Every structure is written in C-alpha cells, then in structure tokens.
Amino acid sequence: MAEPTATRRPRELVAWRNAIFAIFFLSGLGMASWVARIPAIRDDTGLSTQGVGLVILASSAGAVLGLIAAPWLLARLGARLGMIGALVTVSAGLVFTGIGGSALLPSVPLVVIGLALFGFGNGAVDVMMNVEGAEAEREIGRTVMPLMHAFFSFGTVAGAGVAAAASAAEVPVSIHLLAIALGIAVAIFVAVRSVPLRAEVGDDTHADTPRPPFAERLRANLAVWGDVRLLLIGVIMLGMSFAEGSANDWLALAVVDGHGFDATIGAIMFGVFTVSITAARVVGGPVLDRYGRVPVLRVLAIVGIIGLSLFIFGTETWMLVVGTVLWGVGSSLGFPVGMSAAADHPTDSAARVSAVAIIGYCAFLTGPPLLGFIGQQFGILNALLVILVLLVLSFLAAPAARERSRVASS
C-alpha cells in the first residue's frame, strides 16, 4: 500500500472513512431488501423465470445508465450532492417496486419503473462511493477498501435478515420496501456531512487551486480507457462481480427452484452468502497487505470455483451450505481489490476508479438477466456454469492488480 498522502487531520480522515462506510452500508441494504423478496414478488405478480430476468433487466439497464452518467454527475455536482441524489433515487425506486410487487396492487410495469429508478441510483452511487473510498484509502495509507465493501455486505446481511423476517411474518412487500426506502433517504443526508469537499471531483468551488473546467475533467475520465492494464483489472472485476451479482439476484431462486426448498430457506441461504462475503472482506485488508493482491486473488478464484461447483452439483444439504459459503468467500475481494489497483496510480486515480467501477458494475448488473434467459431454457443451476468460466478469466488476469511498489521492484 502507498504511503499516506493526507493533508487532513486523523480525526477528519476517520470521519471521512466512516461516512463512506455508512454509504456502502446503505447501498447494500437497498440491494438486499429487494433481491431477497424476489420470490415473493415473482409469486404476487405471476412472473415466470424468464419474466423475472426481464424485470431484473430494467434494473440493470437503469444501472448501466447510472454508471455511464456517474462521471458526468460527479464532475458536475460533486460527490456530496451526487450521492444524495443517487440514494434518494434508489429510495423512490424501492417505493415503486414495493407497490407494484405486492399482492395489494400487483403491476409489472410499476415494478419495471421502480427497478429502473433503483438501478440508476444504485449504479451512480456505486461509482461515486468507490471513487471517494479509493481516495480516502490513499490518504489513510493502508488497505481499507475491502472493509468498505464489507460495510456493503453488512448492509446486505441486514437487508437479508429483515427480508427473511418480513417473509416469515408475511409482511407485505410494499410495507417492507417503503420502510427501507425512508431509512435510506434520511440516512444519506446525515452521512454525507463528513465527506470532505474536494475540488478535483467538483465539490469545493472555493479551493485555493481552481478546479479544472468541467469539459477537461470529463475528458480525463474518458482518456483512461486506453490503458490495457486498467482493462485487465476490469477483467478481474468482471468475473468476480458477475459471481457476486448473480448470487444477489439468483441464489434465493436457485435454492427454491433448483434444490426444492421454500422461499424462507431461500432468503436464509442468501443470508449465508452475505455473511460469508462480509467475513472475508472484514479480514481482507490485513491479508492483502501481508500476502499481496495477486496470490490472494488467485486463491479466491479457486475457492469460488470449488464453491460454485458444490452449489450447482451438490446433492446433500451440507454441500449446498458449504458451496454457498465458498462462493461468497471466492467472490469477496475482486471488486475492492480492483478499486485499489485502479487507484494505485500517481495521476488520474478518480478517473481510473470510475472506469473499472463501470466494468465491474456492468457485470454485476447485466449478468443476472443473462442468467435468467439461460435459466429459462436450461435450468437456473445450469445457467450458473457461466460464472465458472468467468472466474477462470479472473484467475488469469490477476497479475494486472499487482501493487505499483512490487512492479517497480520486480
């Protein structure tokens, strides 16, 4: 990890780090709250497996637009206003999804509108919070990005737990998602107060050094796409983000439709996945600082392949549980390590982080609908075989994430 570059006091750095922790948590909470209720929404709206894939496609399409718009929004609005706007949009999307996906007023078009809004806001805030997180990590001077992503997982654990309880208590989807939406909308206004104003991302218009013009900042964001090493970092994130995103959207249904358990068990198994990925991210920073990015990524890719194989082909309950745990661990650090590797550059760190975030989240969000189409034809468990191939690609691309200090000394 690079030496600290901070000019801020330790107390300010801690407040900044904690604010990003909170924003990651809110993003994970919103994501898990919707995906853990997919079986209930599917039943209340009468959707088929392919229909669920099409509905998820609305979220993915919105998210891709959010990812594309994020650099522009970040340059135009700055991190604070950008993240507020994005998470308020997420909240609005959850409200529409809850109303349209409930038995009281089932409406597939309303769910589609809600998920499009949810996806756009989530895609935009994902880029912004990773840009902020990577810069905070650089100033702190040690690996904290996995822990930031652990807070996303803490959010998914909380969301999955609340969703499982809501499902068991037969709480309507509309009421459940409305409560989550209100909590997210209120919390983001509190969290961003500790995010520092930075001229380089368009926040501080009164900085001593005037910020570059908007067009210049936008061009810098686009120029980094010609860096081959950066694209290989994107390949790492492509495979592991696909593995994580597919679990978020399809694991619960795979447990129900592929292995024959009920919807509550599906939500619980999704919780097992989120706990596993969270635990791996909590310990990930010290492990990465000790052993380095490349060996850790390669081991995790192998672990993910073993876990998916057990989940897909296992015939015993213990195989399903162990496979879910290993699936979560294997996909845990690809995204945060990719963020750190992209930021590990003397210039253009924000633009580079934005670029690989777009690659990772495109996989995270467009992969699940693809699996839906494949699953309709061949079964959802067979569709998960696609992830195995992508994890192999992540294994092969791992050297691109090597720390700059190790590249210089090799």
The three-state DSSP-derived secondary structure of 277-297 is HHHHHHHHHHHHHHHCHHHHH
The model carries a pTM of 0.73
Six token digits for residue 313: 């082909």
Residue whose token pair is 């619960």:
252
**Which segment of 172-181, 266-275, 340-349, 379-388 scores lowest on mean pLDDT?**
340-349
The confidence score (pLDDT) of residue 268 equals 81
Of residues 216 and 336, the one with the higher pLDDT is 336
Six token digits for residue 355: 């670029």
Q: Is the predicted pLDDT of residue 87 greater than 90, yes or no?
A: yes
Mean pLDDT of the chain: 82
Cα distances (Å, whole numbers) of residue 353 to 57, 338, 388: 25, 8, 26
pLDDT digits (tens, 9 = 90+) for 13-29: 888 889 999 999 999 99
pLDDT digits (tens, 9 = 90+) for 132-168: 888 888 788 788 888 898 898 789 889 988 888 888 8
Helices first, then strands: H and E counts in the chain: 16, 0
- CB within 8 Å of 39: residues ≥ 6 apart: 252, 253, 256, 263, 266, 267
Q: Is the predicted pLDDT of residue 43 greater than 70, yes or no?
A: yes
> What is the 8-class DSSP label of residue 37?
T
With DSSP H G I counted as helix, E B as strand and the rest as coil, what are the percentages for the chain, rounded to 5? Answer: 85, 0, 15
Average pLDDT over residues 71-95: 89
Assess contact for 229 and 15: CB atoms under 8 A. Answer: no
The confidence score (pLDDT) of residue 39 equals 81
Buried b (16+ CB within 10 A) or exposed e, 245-284: bbbbbbbbbbbbbbbebebebbbbbbbbbbbbbbbbbbeb
The confidence score (pLDDT) of residue 346 equals 61
List, in sequence order, the alpha helices (H) in 101-193: 108-140, 145-168, 173-191
Reference 184, options 162, 168, 202; nearest CA is: 162
Of residues 218 and 311, the one with the higher pLDDT is 311
Of residues 200 and 336, the one with the higher pLDDT is 336
Assess contact for 190 and 113: CB atoms under 8 A. Answer: no
Residue 302: CB atoms within 10 A of its CB come to 15
pLDDT range class, residue 409, cuts 50, 70, 90: very low
The confidence score (pLDDT) of residue 208 equals 52
The confidence score (pLDDT) of residue 3 equals 46
The confidence score (pLDDT) of residue 19 equals 93
The confidence score (pLDDT) of residue 127 equals 84
pLDDT range class, residue 296, cuts 50, 70, 90: very high
**Pairwise CA distance, residues 327 & 300, whole Å:** 9
The confidence score (pLDDT) of residue 118 equals 94
Assess contact for 213 and 199: CB atoms under 8 A. Answer: no
Is the Cα dihedral 166, 167, 169, 170 positive or negative? Answer: positive
The confidence score (pLDDT) of residue 2 equals 45
Q: Which domains does the chain have, with CATH numbers?
A: 10-198+227-401 (1.20.1250.20)
> What is the 8-class DSSP label of residue 2?
P
Average pLDDT over residues 234-248: 86
Reference 332, options 281, 393, 400, 287; nearest CA is: 281
Radius of gyration of the chain (CA): 20
Give the rounded distance of the alpha carbon of 340 from its chain centre. Answer: 15
pLDDT digits (tens, 9 = 90+) for 358-368: 787 777 666 76
Q: Is the predicted pLDDT of residue 410 greater than 50, yes or no?
A: no
Residue whose token pair is 């308020």:
88
Of residues 385 and 223, the one with the higher pLDDT is 385
Q: Is the predicted pLDDT of residue 110 greater than 80, yes or no?
A: yes
